[in-house]
Amino acid sequence: MKANIVRIGLGNTSGNTESPDVTRPGGPRGRDLKQTEAEHASLLFSLFKKHLVGTRALGAKTVESAMGAILGFFRWTGLPPWDWAPQDFADFIAHKVDESNIGLGRQATYITYLRSFQNFVLDSRGLSNDIHRKFGVQPQRFINDENAIPIKRKRHERKKAITPLSGEQCQQLIEQFDMEIRDAKLHGSKSYKPLQRDKVMVLLLLMTGVRVDELMHLRLQDFQPDLKRPEFGGYALMTVVLGKGRKSRVVRLYQPAIRDVMDWYLDDVRPQFLRATTPDPTLLFLSERGGPVCTEQVRRMLGRIAANAGITVRVTPHIMRHTYGTQMAAVIGAEALQRQLGHENLTTTLGTYYHQDPERVGQDVEQGITNLTNAINAMTEGLVDEDHD
C-alpha cells in the first residue's frame, strides 16, 4: 500500500508550482499536520487517483491536472481534506486571482476537480466512517452551490436556471413524510422519530430559506419572540450563524404555523435524541446517537423522500432555499429578501430570485407577510399532527 501512496510533499507537476508546500500553508487556517493526518490524506489522494485512472478511465494528462489542482489546494490550506470548508475554497480562489491572475476557466477547473474529489469521499460511506473513527470528524462539502455558482455564472455569462419546487411538489414532500411516519409508527420502526425530526428540518428550510449548514448549527437559544407578533410565540425571529466565527443575521419568520411546528418538535420529538453523552445539548437537531446531524445526511434524506414522493427533479437543500427565495421575492421586495437570505450583494438577490415588475419593488412588507402566510398555511395545515396523537 505504501508504494502507491501519493507523496504530498513532492513538487506539484500540474503547473501549479506557485502553491506553497504543505509545511508552509498560505491559507488563514493552516496548521502543522500530525503524521497520522498527513498519512491518511496521502492515502485518500492515492485512492482517488486510482479511481480516476481505473473507474473513470481518464487520460494521463487529465489525471495529472486533477491531482495537481487537488494537491495545490491541499498545500495551500495546510489542512487535511476532512477539515476543508467552503471559506477555504473562497480564500484559495481569491489568492489565485491576486497572485497568479488565473482566469474564470481555471477557476471552474478547480471547482470540477475538487468537487469530484469531494464527492468521491462523501459518496463512500467506508471512507467517511474511517475518517470519523480516526479523527472524530465527519467530512463536509467545501464546494457547494454558494461558492461554485458565482464562478460558473461569470464564466458562462448566465447561470443555468434553477427551477424552484411548485406548491404541489412541496405538498408532495410533506405528504410523503406523513405517509412514512404513519407506516413507521404502525410497524414500530426505529425510523419513526428520525422521520419526524427530518420533516421539521424540511419545513424549516421551506419557511426560512436558510442554508443547510446554517440549519445544522441552529440552537435552542437562536429563536426569539416579537412582542408585536404574539401569534408566533417564541419563534418570530431566528438568529443564524454561518460557520465558526462567521457573520450572523436575524431571519424573520413569516408563517405563524412555525409556532405549532416548533412546540410539537421540542415537546414530543427532540427529547428522544438527547443522550447523556450529547456534546452540545443546545443544538436544535440531533442525530440518533445524540450528536450533530451532518449536512450530507440531510442531502441524502431529502433526495430519498423526493424520489419516494414521485418528484422527478433532483431535490436538494439549495433547491429548497431557491423555492423559498422565489416565493418571498414576489411579496417582500429585494432588499428584505437580501437580508433574509444573507446575500452580501443585492445583485445576487436580484439576479437569482427577483423577477418582479420594477414598479412593485419595495412594496409594503406587511402585505407580503399576509400573502405569503396564506400560501404557507395552505401548505402546512394539519401537517404537524400527522398521527393524530
Where in the sequence numbering do the catalytic residues fall?
A: 211, 244, 318, 321, 343, 353
Residue 248: CB atoms within 10 Å: 11
C-alpha cell at 369: 407577510
Long-range contacts of 88-93 (CB under 8 A, 24+ apart): 88/27, 88/29, 88/142, 89/114, 89/142, 89/143, 89/147, 90/147, 91/27, 91/28, 92/27, 93/151
Interatomic CA distance for residues 328 and 8, integer angstroms = 47
How far, in Å, CA of 110 to CA of 106, rounded?
6
**Beta bridge mates, 240:** 249
Dist. CA 355–CA 334, nearest whole Å: 10
Cα–Cα distances in Å, from 211 out to 52, 233, 332, 375?
31, 24, 20, 22
Closest-CA residue to 194 (of 183, 206, 181): 181
User: With contact defined as beta carbons under 8 Å apart, do 77 and 88 qualify?
Assistant: yes
Q: Are 335 and 346 in contact (CB under 8 A)?
A: yes
Q: Residue 367: enclosing H or E segment and its boundaries?
A: helix 365-380
Cα-atom radius of gyration of the chain, to the nearest Å?
22
